[in-house]
C-alpha cells in the first residue's frame, strides 16, 4: 500500500492536504501522524513537523517538503538521513511576484504612512516619487529573486540584486559574494529578502545589515523566518532607522498569539501567503515521486540538505 504520512503543527493545513490527496491522488493513502497506518508510510509530507514525529515512521524512504523550502524540517531533530524532495509549483513565481509588487507599492507610494494617518484622523499627502528614484535591493537571485528583480526593473524601479554567485540581469545592477554585500546595501530604500536559509544566511537581517540601508528604509522578508534577528529589527524600528517591515515568514508558524511582533509598531504580518504551492499540486507531485520511487527512477525536485535547498 502506498501510504503518505502528513506531518505538521498546522492542523488546518493537514485537513486541507488530506482533502487534496483524496481528490487528486486517490491511489495514495494519506494519513495523519496519530493514525495507526502512519507506521506503513514510505513518504512523509512535511511542513514544520513536530519534534520526534519523523522518528516514529519506521518504513520511511523519502521526506517530502510540501513547499519550495526544506529548512522547516529542522524543527524535528529526529529527521533521518533520507532523500529529501520539495514541491515546485509553476504558479509559485507568479504568486510571489504579485505579493512583492504589492509590498513595493505599499512603501513606494507611502500607503504605510497613510494608514497611520487615518488612525490619527490626519490628512497629509505623501510625496509622490518616480519609480526610478526608489532604490530597491533584492537579496537572492534564484528563479524567484531574478523574476522579481526583472519585474520591478521593467516597472521602472532602480533595482539592484545580490547573490552568492554572479548573475547577469538586464536593467538590474548585480552584486556577488560576501565582499560586495555592503556595497549592495548602501542606500537601499526597500530591502527584499528571498535568500535560501543556510548557515551563511541565518540571521543576515540584523543590525549590521540595517545600518547600511538608507535612513527610513523598509524591509520585506519572504525568505525564511530564521533570516531575521527580531530584536535588531525592533530596535531599528524604534530608532527610526527602518520605517517599516512586511514579514511573511517566521521561525514558528503559525505565529503564536503572544508573539511580540503582532504588536510591534511598523510591522505588517501576513500568514505565509506570499506564494504557496496549491494543495492539488502538492498531492500530484508527491504521487509522481511515489511512482518514481517504486520504479527506481530519480526523484522529482530533489533537494540538498547540506545546501538547504
Which positions are catalytic? 224, 272
Cell digits of residue 23 = 481528490
Contact between residue 29 and residue 4 where contact means Cβ atoms under 8 Å apart: yes
The Cα–Cα gap between 267 and 146 comes to 26
Rg (CA), the chain: 21
Closest to 127 (Cα-Cα) out of 144, 141, 110: 110
Cell digits of residue 193 = 529578502
Closest to 184 (Cα-Cα) out of 154, 220, 212, 165: 212
CA separation (Å) from 54 to 2, 31, 49, 65?
Answer: 17, 14, 8, 12
- Say how many CA atoms lie within 13 Å of 197 toward its Cβ: 21
Element (H, E) at 217: strand 217-221
Contact between residue 80 and residue 60 where contact means Cβ atoms under 8 Å apart: yes
Q: Which residues pair with 173 in a beta bridge?
A: 160
Backbone angles phi, psi at 79, to 5 degrees: -55, 115
Contact between residue 107 and residue 244 where contact means Cβ atoms under 8 Å apart: yes
The Cα–Cα gap between 221 and 236 comes to 15
Q: Is the preceding peptide bond at 254 cis, omega within 30 degrees of 0?
A: yes
Amino acid at each position: 500500500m502506498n501510504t503518505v504520512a502528513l506531518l505538521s503543527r498546522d492542523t488546518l493545513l493537514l485537513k486541507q492536504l488530506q482533502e487534496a490527496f483524496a481528490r487528486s491522488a486517490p491511489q495514495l493513502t494519506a494519513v495523519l501522524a496519530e493514525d495507526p497506518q502512519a507506521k506503513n508510510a514510505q513518504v512523509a509530507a512535511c511542513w514544520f513537523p513536530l519534534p520526534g514525529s519523523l522518528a516514529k515512521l519506521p518504513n520511511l524512504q523519502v521526506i517530502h517538503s510540501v513547499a519550495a523550502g526544506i529548512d522547516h524540517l529542522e524543527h524535528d531533530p529526529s529527521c533521518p538521513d533520507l532523500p529529501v524532495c520539495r514541491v515546485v509549483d509553476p504558479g509559485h513565481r507568479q504568486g510571489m511576484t504579485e505579493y512583492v509588487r504589492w509590498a513595493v507599492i505599499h512603501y513606494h507610494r507611502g500607503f504605510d504612512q497613510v494608514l497611520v494617518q487615518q488612525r490619527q484622523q490626519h490628512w497629509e499627502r505623501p510625496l509622490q516619487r518616480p519609480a526610478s528614484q526608489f532604490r530597491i535591493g533584492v537579496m537572492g537571485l534564484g528563479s524567484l529573486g531574478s523574476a522579481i528583480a526583472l519585474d520591478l526593473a521593467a516597472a521602472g524601479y532602480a533595482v539592484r540584486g545580490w547573490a552568492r554567485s554572479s548573475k547577469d540581469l538586464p536593467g538590474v545592477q548585480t552584486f556577488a559574494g560576501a565582499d560586495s554585500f555592503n556595497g549592495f546595501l548602501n542606500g537601499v530604500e526597500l530591502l527584499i529578502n528571498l535568500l535560501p536559509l543556510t548557515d551563511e544566511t541565518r540571521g543576515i537581517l540584523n543590525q549590521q545589515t540595517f545600518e547600511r540601508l538608507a535612513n527610513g528604509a523598509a524591509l520585506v522578508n519572504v525568505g525564511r523566518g530564521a533570516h531575521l534577528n527580531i530584536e535588531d529589527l525592533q530596535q531599528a524600528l524604534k530608532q527610526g532607522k527602518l520605517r517599516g517591515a512586511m514579514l511573511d515568514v517566521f521561525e514558528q508558524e503559525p505565529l503564536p498569539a503572544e508573539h511580540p511582533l503582532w504588536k510591534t509598531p511598523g510591522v505588517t504580518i501576513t500568514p505565509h501567503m506570499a506564494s504557496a504551492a496549491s494543495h492539488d499540486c502538492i498531492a500530484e507531485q508527491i504521487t509522481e515521486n511515489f511512482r518514481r520511487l517504486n520504479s527506481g527512477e530519480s526523484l522529482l525536485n530533489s533537494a540538498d540538505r547540506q545546501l538547504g535547498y
